Amino acid sequence: MLLTELGTGEIPEVYRRFAEFVGEAHWRNRVRKIKDEIRGNRFLGEFLRHENALSFQLEHLRELQARYGSIPAWEVNNREIYPAMSFAAQVLSLAQVSPRPLAEQLRRRVHDAFNKPEAMRALRLELSAATHFARRARRLTWPEMTGGGTFDLLVDDVGPDGLEVECKSIGEDKGRKVHKREALDFYGLLWSHIHPTIKGLRTGLSAVLTLHGRLPERHAQRVDLARSFARAIFAGKGTVLPDGSGVRISEFDPAVLGDIPNGVQPSEVRAAIDQVSETRNRQTMVVGTHAGGALALTLQSSQDDALLKAVFDTLSDSARRQLTGTRGAMFLVGLHGIGGDQLLSVAQQDQDASQTPTALRIAVSRFLSGAGRDHVVGVGFLSESGLQPLEAGLVESGGTAYYFPKRESPKWSDDFNGLFTWNRTHAQIGAEVLGRSP
């Protein structure tokens, strides 16, 4: 049975058992490798720590245990470790009820997840989806672990034959020609060339590099491109670089960015950055100077990003290859980097008949009405989760779910109604409750 609630007083014992089951070396070695990478490129810090947050949380607990002999009592009130402890507790609960070969298979999957952020996101999304149904007293089976199929979950007790659930974790780079890690590595190459020239910058300077397609594959070519881009920034005017990439330079008032830290910026300042760079949702980094100025660096491709196309190509392939077609099935799509408020805003626009339907709603309608998808009874989109206080002594992690049912499907059952309830605020998905001990 999947654990859905955990008392904070249980955290030390959960950590001990998880470390024994998985092995502390897996997150210790991962954190050590990441720190080495950060030392080589100052711009990777925030990105890599976020991508590997659970490893850092577990390593923090390992260090505390090594220092004090056990997890100190006061540490159980540290909310920053709750995601890792929720994950650990749920993995242990599954391992405990699984036959030894399946428990070993789960252990190997966790090992892989510590080394690959995309694998960790996929596993956590699957656990979140399972938690959503488990907290509604639904009976679950993991087909891939029992040989019952290649989809992620089977909700046994809804509909005449159960409900297949396939989870798809969508990273921020999906459909992009320029990936975030690539951009940060490129900025690291660029930094040594521009750092001496921007120390005295007192105003705002936006430098946009537009590639024909992607960044060059060879490291030497990227070094040459960074050097050429730096020269254009120093010259302070737009130009076409030897490889055909275009550079656009413009000035702006640093005050429009407000008081924000250096590095890749969070979503709440995205609009200001787009205004400064005159781009939309591109890979932009802002560096402040001691003289009060700011340099906004933007890397983009002349080829359009195609997030929605990439997402629905993935779902179309999965509908054909992973779902059986013999019973109702739904997709749950985790949107990495999309906050609950952002997804809620999209849903609210679609709920308002006076507004134009969003691109997401149009794409979902096109997908659900496509040939060969009669067995797909719905698609849900899930934001990233966050911690929210419920009442004294309880903290819940959850996010926003925007769900599109397909009631005209021949596999539809009235049992599928209400699986995700629209309440004009947010639907809790993957909620793990941590109760504070007396």
Tens of pLDDT, residues 119-128: 999 999 999 8
Q: Are residues 49 and 71 in the same domain?
A: yes
Find the mean pLDDT for residues 21-46: 95
Q: Are residues 78 and 163 in the same domain?
A: no
Whether the Cβ atoms of residue 131 and residue 431 lie closer than 8 Å to each other: yes
The residues that bridge with 169 in the sheet, in sequence order, are 334
Residue with tokens 């629209």: 422
Q: Are residues 221 and 324 in the same domain?
A: no
Whether the Cβ atoms of residue 261 and residue 336 lie closer than 8 Å to each other: no
Structure token pair of residue 258: 């407000």
> Rounded distance, CA 306 to CA 381, Å?
17
CB within 8 Å of 103: residues ≥ 6 apart: 94, 95
> Is a pLDDT exceeding 70 seen at residue 438?
no
Residue 390 pLDDT: 43
256 pLDDT band, cuts 50/70/90, is confident
Domain end residue (candidates: 271, 301, 331): 301
**Is the four-CA dihedral 66, 8, 388, 433 of positive or negative sign?**
positive
Look at residue 105 and give its three-state secondary structure.
helix
Q: Are residues 318 and 436 in the same domain?
A: yes
Find the mean pLDDT for residues 290-308: 87
Residue type, 359: A
Q: Are residues 146 and 293 in the same domain?
A: no
408 pLDDT band, cuts 50/70/90, is very high
Closest CA to 84 of 39, 37, 30: 30
> Rounded distance, CA 46 to CA 29, Å?
19
437 pLDDT band, cuts 50/70/90, is very low
Calculate the average pLDDT of the chain. Answer: 86
Looking at the domain assignment, is residue 88 inside a domain?
Answer: yes
Q: Are residues 169 and 199 in the same domain?
A: no
> Rounded distance, CA 369 to CA 364, Å?
9
Q: How many domains does the chain have?
A: 3
Q: Are residues 100 and 193 in the same domain?
A: no
Looking at the domain assignment, is residue 315 inside a domain?
Answer: yes
Instruction: Give percent of the chain above pLDDT 90.
Output: 59
Look at residue 205 and give its three-state secondary structure.
strand
> Is a pLDDT exceeding 80 seen at residue 272?
no
Residue with tokens 């507004």: 355
Looking at the domain assignment, is residue 71 inside a domain?
Answer: yes
Looking at the domain assignment, is residue 361 inside a domain?
Answer: yes
> Rounded distance, CA 261 to CA 251, Å?
19
Q: Does 434 or 356 have the greater pLDDT score?
A: 356
Residue type, 50: H
140 pLDDT band, cuts 50/70/90, is very high
Phi, psi at residue 161, to the nearest 5°?
A: -130, 10
Structure token pair of residue 264: 């890749």
> Rounded distance, CA 167 to CA 329, Å?
11
Q: Are residues 23 and 84 in the same domain?
A: yes
| Alpha helix positions (H), 116-179 | 117-134, 143-146
Looking at the domain assignment, is residue 270 inside a domain?
Answer: yes
Q: Are residues 280 and 395 in the same domain?
A: no
Residue type, 109: R
CB within 8 Å of 143: residues ≥ 6 apart: 149, 150, 151, 152, 153, 154
- Highest mean pLDDT (candidates 323-337, 338-352, 373-387, 393-407): 323-337
The residues that bridge with 395 in the sheet, in sequence order, are 389, 434
The string of pLDDT tens digits covering residues 9-32 is 899 999 999 999 999 999 999 999
Domain end residue (candidates: 286, 301, 316): 301
Looking at the domain assignment, is residue 111 inside a domain?
Answer: no
User: Can you list the positions of beta strands (E) in 64-181?
Assistant: 140-141, 153-155, 163-170
Q: Are residues 379 and 437 in the same domain?
A: yes
User: Among 107-111, 158-162, 303-307, which is the least confidently predicted range?
Assistant: 303-307
> Rounded distance, CA 313 to CA 298, Å?
28
Q: Are residues 292 and 145 in the same domain?
A: no
Closest CA to 278 of 296, 254, 304: 296
**Is the four-CA dihedral 245, 251, 253, 259 of positive or negative sign?**
positive
Structure token pair of residue 183: 């951009």
Domain that holds residue 201: 180-301
Residue 430 pLDDT: 30
Q: Does 20 or 258 have the greater pLDDT score?
A: 20
Looking at the domain assignment, is residue 45 inside a domain?
Answer: yes
Looking at the domain assignment, is residue 53 inside a domain?
Answer: yes
Residue 260 pLDDT: 58
Q: Are residues 156 and 197 in the same domain?
A: no
CB within 8 Å of 84: residues ≥ 6 apart: 53, 54, 57, 58, 61
> Is a pLDDT exceeding 60 seen at residue 429?
no
Find the mean pLDDT for residues 179-196: 92
Whether the Cβ atoms of residue 384 and residue 335 lie closer than 8 Å to each other: yes
Domain end residue (candidates: 86, 106, 126): 106
